[in-house]
Chain A
């Protein structure tokens, strides 16, 4: 069965970086784009970007351009999201989700990133 398992919660100081992993199983990892979506406390879902695990090609939301980097390691079927220059308003639950032709059919369990001095 398809599973996306994300890394554990992180606590970071303002200005630091965080790297969240998303390990895929149960399907051909390189056959589906992977997207990252976040939800800040009391807010809605916010799209951050996607990566093509086959080519490594990426597209980022304008809001996160220059601060977010999506990568993947096909040898371990894992996608990564790194967010730099963290601010308090980056405190959120971060999800990876599999792209089924621009619909998102499987989601990770979410990774809480808390930014606090």
Chain B
């Protein structure tokens, strides 16, 4: 049950796009389509923004999109806005267990 690997930080200017990767193994990310992404602002509870690899919950802007290839999942945020600045976590089912990524700090320049 090792944590999924995410870059520690990414940055982009308003209007630009950024992609955050999340690398696991065939026992988690690569083995199931239960990858989700969470946006976490300090002092608030995490918010689900992508579920089941590619699906956006109601109310999440279509600027957020998810994908997966092999053992790596990705979150892309297009048309960056100032309020997107937050910590982002990926998460995967791993056969009765669950594993999170280490988190990626997104800075909007």
Mark A residues whose CB is within 8 Å of B: 35, 37, 44-47, 50, 59, 61-63, 95, 97, 100-105, 107-110
Contact = CB atoms under 8 A, between A and B. Distances in A.
24 contacts: A35-B98, A44-B3, A44-B87, A44-B89, A44-B100, A45-B40, A45-B89, A46-B100, A47-B97, A47-B99, A47-B100, A59-B96, A61-B98, A101-B52, A102-B32, A102-B93, A103-B91, A104-B38, A104-B48, A105-B48, A107-B45, A108-B45, A109-B45, A110-B45
Contacts, number: 63
Contacts of A107: 45-47
Contacts of B65: none
Contacts of B89: 44-45
A100 B93 CA distance: 12
A47 B1 CA distance: 10
Contact of B46 (A45, A63, A100, A102): A45
Contacts of A50: 98
Contacts of B1: 61-63
B22 to A, nearest CB: 12
Interface string B33-54: 0101010100001111001100
Given A104-B48, A105-B48, A45 B103 contact: yes
A35 B96 CA distance: 12
